[in-house]
Structure 1
Amino acid sequence: MSTALTALRVLDEVAKLQPVGVTALAERMDLPKSSAQRALKALETAGWIRQAALPKKGWVLTTKAIDVAQRVAAEVGVREAARDVLTRLRDATGESVHLTIREGREVVIIDVVETVNPTRIYIPLGTRSPLHATATGKVLLAHLEPGQRDEIIDAGLEQLTDATVTDAAQLRAELDGIREGRCAMVKGELRDDIASFAVPVFSRSGPVLGAISVFVPRYRFPDDDGAAFCRELKKAAAVISERL
């Protein structure tokens, strides 16, 4: 049995039996005690389990499992709430639309509704991009707590194209405007041939759960600098947020 599979099985058993000691765990799983111990230590290092406080000894789950479950639930909930709205947004703008969430320093596409225009730029579901170089990424970055935002910015801003904003002060000023309600706009910062516009999707309690965007081939950049797109985006985001 692979080490990874053993660790996952051990994690599952800890969740069922917690608090549980290594001897009881090894006997239940028919594993050598040394193998069970290695798996437990690996899971502890990864932050999934910890030693229970006295008086009852043994291994228990940390809150990491809850955090992961909440992220998965949030992603599923946002997708379900947004799907028909994204289709209407595509129809209203004539362009492709994305629904995204943040994972670490990246923005991840979790749903796409493609334009019917025969000339399009295909960016598939699951695509990951740096937060600072995309419209949805800037929206998500703008709405982080200041400490989180600064940590990401201070770690460095990769130059992806000639247009990518890599100056921290310039990016912070842009993020301040987005946080105040301005639609995010990116023109050739991730790829030379793409422009995009984005707004946040809020939960009812206030935190931003994701962002939606309209993206276009750069040669089709709108004459109004995206004002009509941004109006449609804000209407769509309001409907999704209300559903959440």
Structure 2
Amino acid sequence: MQASNKTVIKSMKILKLFLTHAKLSFNDMMEHSGIPKTSLHRMIRSLEEMGFLTKDEDGYYSLGLLFLQFGQLVADRLDIRTIARPFMKELRDDVEEAVHLIVKDGNEAMYIEKLDTPQPVRLYTSIGRRSPLYAGDSRIILAYLPKEEQEAYIETAELKPVGMGTITDKRMLRQLLDEARENGYAVTRSELEDYTASVSAPIFNGQNQVAAAISIAGIEARYREERLPELIVKVKETSMKISKKLGYSF
């Protein structure tokens, strides 16, 4: 474990050299890092194979295109958080429930922003929390993925129960996804935590693709049928306000 940690630290030391240098030769990296030649050669080869470094025809190394993908992903998420937060605050203050901002991260969903409820009983959710795409308020993202991508996910996913209301039947999941896409929102109950409920809506970017989701979530007792129409209208209005700011045209 310690050896692995040392390798990671040394690899980061190599990559950090490119914060101040656009290109470096092998000898440059050896001089600046102080890492022995054999170890450096092995680490550079691994970084090349993973796409973190690339080597040009003159033998100089630079950061790989993988960093552009990571950089764009981070920038997009930071932009969404910055843009969404004032609208989330307005929604939270209006309905007095927790409001979440959720994005797709690989085959999971991740909560990247949360504004908590002023109510004394609160949900156990936090920024950085992950959840399966098929369950709870993140399911609205799955509903708006391209059909091929959505079906590929469903085919390979193991629908494990998380809360007592988690959907574990793929036929039922497909039906709920179709309904959510047709209606523009999703209502879930006890799917990620027992006795909780959520109302969620999709957020779209300038390419008219689903970029995130916004949800109102709380204790199920506060989500009675007579209150749902109001919450649905408000979460959909908020999702459209954020989508407009992201360049979505509809």
TM-score of the superposition, structure 1-length normalised?
0.88
Q: In 2, distance between residues paired with 1:49 and 1:155?
A: 33
AA at the equivalent of 1:41: R
Q: In 2, distance between residues paired with 1:31 and 1:72?
A: 30
Pick closer, same or farther for the CA change 1:139–1:27 going to 2, 3 Å.
same
Shift of 1:225: 6.4
> 1:144-163 counterparts in 2 under 5 A?
144-153=145-154, 154-163=156-165
1:48 — aligned with what?
52
Pick closer, same or farther for the CA change 1:20–1:151 going to 2, 3 Å.
farther
Q: In 2, distance between residues paired with 1:165 and 1:232?
A: 25
Higher mean C-alpha deviation, range 77-86 or range 33-42: 33-42
Pick closer, same or farther for the CA change 1:149–1:41 going to 2, 3 Å.
farther
Shift of 1:188: 0.8
Shift of 1:211: 0.8
Q: In 2, distance between residues paired with 1:173 and 1:63?
A: 39
> 1:72-151 counterparts in 2 under 5 A?
72-135=74-137, 137-151=138-152
1:222-243 residue CA offsets vs partner (Å, 9 max, x unmatched): 2236221110011111111222
Shift of 1:219: 2.0
Shift of 1:151: 3.3
Pick closer, same or farther for the CA change 1:121–1:161 going to 2, 3 Å.
closer
2:178 — aligned with what?
176
Q: In 1, distance between residues paired with 2:40 and 2:183?
A: 52
Is the contact between residue 99 and residue 216 of structure 2 (CA under 8 Å) also seen in structure 1? yes
CA RMSD in angstroms comes to 2.2
2:242 — aligned with what?
240
Q: Could you list the runs of 5+ residues in structure 1 that have no partner in the other structure? A: none
Shift of 1:87: 1.2
2:230 — aligned with what?
228
2:15 — aligned with what?
11
Shift of 1:19: 5.4
Is the contact between residue 201 and residue 209 of structure 1 (CA under 8 Å) also seen in structure 2? yes
Is the contact between residue 19 and residue 57 of structure 1 (CA under 8 Å) also seen in structure 2? no
Is the contact between residue 136 and residue 191 of structure 2 (CA under 8 Å) also seen in structure 1? yes
Is the contact between residue 136 and residue 166 of structure 2 (CA under 8 Å) also seen in structure 1? no
Query: For this pair of structures, how many residues does the alignment match?
Result: 241
Shift of 1:51: 4.1
Shift of 1:14: 5.0
Is the contact between residue 165 and residue 171 of structure 1 (CA under 8 Å) also seen in structure 2? yes
Q: Could you list the runs of 5+ residues in structure 2 that have no partner in the other structure? A: none
1:74-108 residue CA offsets vs partner (Å, 9 max, x unmatched): 11111111111111111222211111112112211
Shift of 1:28: 3.5
AA at the equivalent of 1:36: L
1:25 — aligned with what?
29
TM-score of the superposition, structure 2-length normalised?
0.86
